[in-house]
Amino acid sequence: MVQEKGMNRLRLLGLVGDGDNVLQSVIDKHGILLGKLINEVGLGNILYGIESPDTDVSTHAAIATAHHVKYTDANARDAIAAANLYLRQDGTKPLTANWPVGSKKLTGLAAGSGAGDSVRYEQLHAQNHKTRHHSGGGDAVQLDNLAAPDDNTDLDATTAKHGLLKKLGGGTSNFLRADGAWASPPGGGGLKVSKSYMFEFPDEDMAVGDFIPENAIRIPASGKHGDITWGTVYVRCEVVGTGTNTILFRTSTTLTGGRTTRATVNLSTSREASASITLTESDGMYLWVECSAVGGTAPTKVTAQVDAEEAVY
């Protein structure tokens, strides 16, 4: 029966015709080798790897699980992700280290740019980079080691946030205000300090003569003072006098040299009077206050105050 089925298979293939019994002996000798072929319903079944001899070719074609399924890129990515492995882009050298990432993952990772780039599909080694890069972290980043910023105002401090110093404007006359603007100090020029030179008449009743200190006040030497802007001489007394009572503010270039009047105050019968000063000082100049005239009754306890502003140097 088996031999007859084998002959029928050969006839189906067109290898023998009816009456070709000469091949019977060949089939008998190679029965073991051809056993699978001659025992299947469909001859092509053996070519498709079908184990059951009772399934013909047409039936086999409709069975999806019977075919070899193509191993796709998605299959490879899933397998790598499941095993917590990393793979080089060229696919030739997978890393052997197992880097678990737990529940942390980065999706949508772009492919590497060339052979040798280590990339991972679906997941990336988990690190809390923000904490590590903060001050005191395991990988703290120092500000001065970062790349130079763009030449813009992004990092400027404002009234609403901390920041870095704004770009310097250059020059020596402007200063940084609290609102963040570079500007010259009020009044123009550099910083100035207010100062007063005090003089007092040595006797209770004023008379013609110098106020103390009698040896005058001296402007410092060159390089030891700033530019001085002279203001006003104020003269005051405890008890008013009568008639003409005149006080002068004067300067000299030496202690005993001639004096030049810079302001004249007419106290007369008032307790207080003043006059503006006209003066451009020089290094080492001497300053004097003196009474040049007294009326019928002299004022008492007279004091003179010379006001000025000096630039910070």
> For the chain, what are the domain ranges?
2-66, 87-128, 192-311
Q: What are 265's two structure tokens?
A: 């105050």
* pLDDT tens for each residue of 30-50: 554 445 444 444 444 444 444
Closest CA to 185 of 173, 194, 193: 173
What pLDDT sits at residue 164?
A: 84
* pLDDT tens for each residue of 209-242: 999 987 789 999 988 998 999 999 999 999 999 9
Q: What SS3 state is found at 305?
A: strand
Q: Region 276-288: what's the mean pLDDT? A: 95
Q: Region 194-223: what's the mean pLDDT? A: 92
Asked if 174 contacts 184 with a C-beta cutoff of 8 angstroms, the reply is: yes
> Alpha-carbon Rg of the chain, whole angstroms?
56
Say whether pLDDT at 146 is over 80. yes
Asked if 39 contacts 53 with a C-beta cutoff of 8 angstroms, the reply is: yes
What pLDDT sits at residue 93?
A: 42
- The helix or strand, by DSSP H or E, that contains position 210, with its residue range, turns out to be strand 209-210
Q: Left, alpha or beta for 180 (phi > 0: left; psi -120 to 50: alpha)?
A: left
* pLDDT tens for each residue of 113-126: 444 444 444 444 44
Asked if 247 contacts 289 with a C-beta cutoff of 8 angstroms, the reply is: yes
Q: Does domain 192-311 have CATH number 2.60.120.40?
A: yes
Using omega within 30 degrees of 0 as the cis cutoff, is the peptide bond preceding 94 cis? no
Q: What are 80's two structure tokens?
A: 């790598």
Q: DSSP per residue over 246-290, as a string?
A: EEEEEEESSSSS--EEEEEEE-TT-SEEEEE------TT-EEEEE
Asked if 277 contacts 230 with a C-beta cutoff of 8 angstroms, the reply is: yes
Say whether pLDDT at 63 is over 60. no
Task: Name the pTM for this structure.
Answer: 0.45
Q: Region 178-201: what's the mean pLDDT? A: 83
Beta carbons within 10 angstroms of residue 199's beta carbon: 24
**Residue 166 Cα distances to 147, 161, 171, 173, angstroms:** 18, 13, 15, 17
